[in-house]
Structure 1
């Protein structure tokens, strides 16, 4: 018997890539080590007797650069991580055994795009704009979608269109749009599995405030065990008009790490309405 999933795949799929290309010098949070790529060996450096040669690469990177997912070990509050795990004791030995990124199972889940910028009729929300619960609910209503338990909800502010500009995307002086504590609570009340956005830190950053306060991270990661995906490219998804899709996301299996670069894919059967 042919597997139903194989039948869908065999009939053709439409795929939208939600990941940013990793490049040296790309915009990122100043709190994390930069991505760096170099070629220790180039063609011609060593040539074999038959005239062939090989090139190879080396990369160094923080785990929270480019499009990436935050493991539950990434944030603590008043000394504890999710489930009451002692944050200091857990880090002894230089890895987080209990809540590291290796504990995140590969995601093949219902994805929902909430295109807040599209709903508001703007190219992008202004720097420092807080995406409210009313914004989230009105966007979902306009798109005709219902956020359900276990979903991965992706919130488009339009700020991702600034990624190629570099520093303006990071938004130090201007701030960055995103949900605040209330929006994070709304997501948690809906029982989502993960939440993501097209911005550097997922949640609202106040103008000039940097990463000084991140209440949505506390609500999602520490209080509810909900993963956060940052620096997504949601422009193509919005242009395609997809509100619902299958989200596929697999973190690198780095034992004890607090996060991982990812390349999420939005997938639908070809010709789906």
Structure 2
């Protein structure tokens, strides 16, 4: 029996890497431990009798640093996780047994890019701009795509272009563009599986407000069981006008963690 997926791969596919390179000092939310990488052993520190040498690495990192996915255990509301799970009792032995990142199945799904910045006629949306439901609907119409239940929806504000600027990407003073509670509720009503953006906290951050209020996180993670992917690189997808693709993402299988670094891919026929 022939395998249609294998045949498609054999016929040729191309991919767009949606993940950020992990570097010491990269911008991140101040709420999470930073990424650190060092080489405990370098070539020449130990040389075998045959002249061979090996180097090795050590990393420490928060699980919500760089391009990453939020598990449902990441956010609670009034002491409850998704499905009414008790946030306190779900943490056993320092691990979130219920709704930890180990419960996220690998994703091979239909992906949709909503290039909100492009639709609104700009390269980068202003800090604190709210991407409204009307913006989302207009973008879908302009791109001639429709949402389906189970999709992964990626929203481009253009803010990802500021990643290399560090503090400007975090947007403490300027705010950060993104959807608000209304946008999250509308997307959730479409039955999507996950949503992502090119910004540090996925949703709109008000100028000067930092991470003080994150209603879209509550709507997605607590009320609807929808995963959130942050700090994506969506520029190449937008430049190539790839609005529909096969989305592939596999979190690290860390038992009880609230999130995981990821390197998602968008696959299209070559």
TM over 0.5: yes
- CA shift at 1:92, angstroms? 3.5
What is the SS of the residue equivalent to 1:105? coil
- Report what 1:145 is aligned to: 145
Deviation per residue, 1:82-129 (Å, 9 max, x gap): 000111121241001110000000000000000000001111110000
Distance 1:109 1:96 in 2: 26
> What is the 5 A alignment of 1:103-252?
103-252=103-252
- Report what 1:17 is aligned to: 17
Two-structure CA RMSD over aligned residues (Å): 0.5
Distance 1:6 1:18 in 2: 23
**TM-score under structure 1 normalisation?**
0.98
Distance 1:185 1:148 in 2: 15
- CA shift at 1:37, angstroms? 0.2
- CA shift at 1:269, angstroms? 1.2
8 Å contact kept, 2:91–2:98: no
What is the SS of the residue equivalent to 1:251? coil
Distance 2:262 2:24 in 1: 16
Query: Are 1:77 and 2:62 matched, yes or no?
Result: no
Deviation per residue, 1:192-218 (Å, 9 max, x gap): 000000000000000010000000000
Contiguous gaps of at least 5 residues in structure 2: none
8 Å contact kept, 2:82–2:222: yes
Distance 2:2 2:164 in 1: 44
> What is the 5 A alignment of 1:33-52?
33-52=33-52
Deviation per residue, 1:15-34 (Å, 9 max, x gap): 00000000000000000000
Deviation per residue, 1:53-83 (Å, 9 max, x gap): 0000000000000000000000000010000
- Report what 1:59 is aligned to: 59
Distance 2:214 2:110 in 1: 26
- Report what 1:94 is aligned to: 94
Distance 2:90 2:48 in 1: 49
Distance 1:249 1:228 in 2: 12
**TM-score under structure 2 normalisation?**
0.99
Contiguous gaps of at least 5 residues in structure 1: none
- CA shift at 1:2, angstroms? 2.5
